[in-house]
């Protein structure tokens, strides 16, 4: 019955599903320590840890139409990965699905946003310890250090808010001032509280369709140390749950990136799996059966 190779409870056919899981085992742009290519399968394995029944909402995941496409194929360069992920994800939006993409380093996120139909308004909540706002990093415009920049170029600078930042270069801060990117630092979240932070972020964004890009390093390494570039003074796992719960009714896509299983005992993979399920449960609760 259990198929540990797939995401838990992903029993629906593609045609019947609303939530479609896709893995992107790519970590070639990682700048500190590699391993995020093992993220998708580790997150899937850990997803089987949880009851299908969600105690908080009463939703049973067994009743929610989820499909798992498996992992996107082999890639050489970041450009190849970007092209391939765009081609995988674009039909999902066209078919009315909500893609849940498991990375992989954060370079895998922009193509998931770029695949969204042009002309349809889209806002992005970008959760990250890092600003990821370099125009290019080590000569690579598709580096994971540039992902917020690429996404902002796609959706418009005013349609993305980065939450949880506690690391940026001087050049990134200058670019943020010049180009008008909005970010809310982890220190602000800590002072202000997550509820007020999310409300403030959502007031800035168009409300229709929201895409969430979750770099797991936004969470404090005390909760999620299994990641490529751990950064202290982060958000709690409960803070991220709160963001997902608030945004879920308007969610059109989610990615969870930078889970790097070699660096912990599985707790970061378990958290990522639980947050993916949280997004699915809350979205399903808001929308009802498809």
Residues that bind Mn ion (CB under 5 A): 106, 128-130, 132, 215, 217
Identity of the residue, 37 or 130, whose beta carbon is nearer to Mn ion in the bound complex = 130
44 Cβ contact list (under 8 Å, min separation 6): 4, 5, 6, 7, 8, 21, 23, 68, 102, 273
Identity of the residue, 215 or 264, whose beta carbon is nearer to Mn ion in the bound complex = 215
38 Cβ contact list (under 8 Å, min separation 6): 25, 260, 261, 262
Q: How far is the CB of 258 from Mn ion (least distance, A)?
A: 6
Q: How far is the CB of 133 from Mn ion (least distance, A)?
A: 10
Identity of the residue, 27 or 215, whose beta carbon is nearer to Mn ion in the bound complex = 215
Identity of the residue, 167 or 267, whose beta carbon is nearer to Mn ion in the bound complex = 167
Question: 98 and 253 in contact (C-beta within 8 Å)?
Answer: yes
Identity of the residue, 68 or 217, whose beta carbon is nearer to Mn ion in the bound complex = 217
Q: How far is the CB of 106 from Mn ion (least distance, A)?
A: 3
Identity of the residue, 130 or 154, whose beta carbon is nearer to Mn ion in the bound complex = 130
Q: How far is the CB of 138 from Mn ion (least distance, A)?
A: 15
Q: How far is the CB of 17 from Mn ion (least distance, A)?
A: 28
Q: How far is the CB of 195 from Mn ion (least distance, A)?
A: 23
């Amino acid at each position: 019955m259990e198929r540990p190779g797939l995401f838990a409870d992903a029993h629906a056919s593609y045609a019947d599903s609303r939530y479609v899981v896709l893995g992107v085992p790519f970590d070639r742009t990682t700048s500190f320590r590699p391993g995020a290519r093992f993220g998708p399968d580790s997150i899937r394995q850990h997803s089987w840890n949880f009851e299908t029944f969600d105690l908080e909402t009463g939703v049973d995941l067994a009743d929610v139409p989820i499909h798992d496409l498996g992992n996107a194929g082999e890639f050489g360069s970041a450009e190849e990965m970007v092209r391939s992920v765009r081609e995988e994800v674009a039909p999902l939006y066209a078919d009315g699905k909500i893609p849940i993409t498991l990375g992989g380093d954060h370079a895998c996120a922009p193509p998931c946003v770029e695949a969204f139909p042009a002309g349809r308004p889209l806002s992005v909540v970008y959760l990250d310890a890092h600003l990821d706002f370099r125009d290019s990093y080590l000569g690579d415009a598709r580096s994971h250090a540039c992902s917020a920049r690429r996404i902002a170029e796609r959706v418009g600078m005013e349609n993305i808010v980065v939450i949880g930042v506690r690391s940026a270069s001087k050049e990134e801060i200058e670019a943020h001032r010049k180009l008008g990117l909005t970010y809310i630092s982890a220190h602000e979240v800590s002072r202000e509280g997550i509820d007020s932070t999310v409300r403030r972020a959502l007031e800035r964004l168009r409300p229709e369709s929201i895409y969430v890009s979750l770099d797991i390093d936004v969470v404090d390494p005390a909760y999620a140390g299994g990641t490529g570039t751990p950064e202290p003074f982060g958000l709690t796992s409960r803070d991220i749950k709160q963001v997902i719960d608030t945004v879920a009714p308007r969610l059109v896509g989610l990615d969870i990136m930078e889970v790097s299983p070699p660096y912990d005992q599985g707790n970061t993979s378990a958290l990522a799996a639980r947050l993916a399920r949280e997004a699915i449960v809350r979205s399903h609760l808001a929308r009802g059966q498809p």
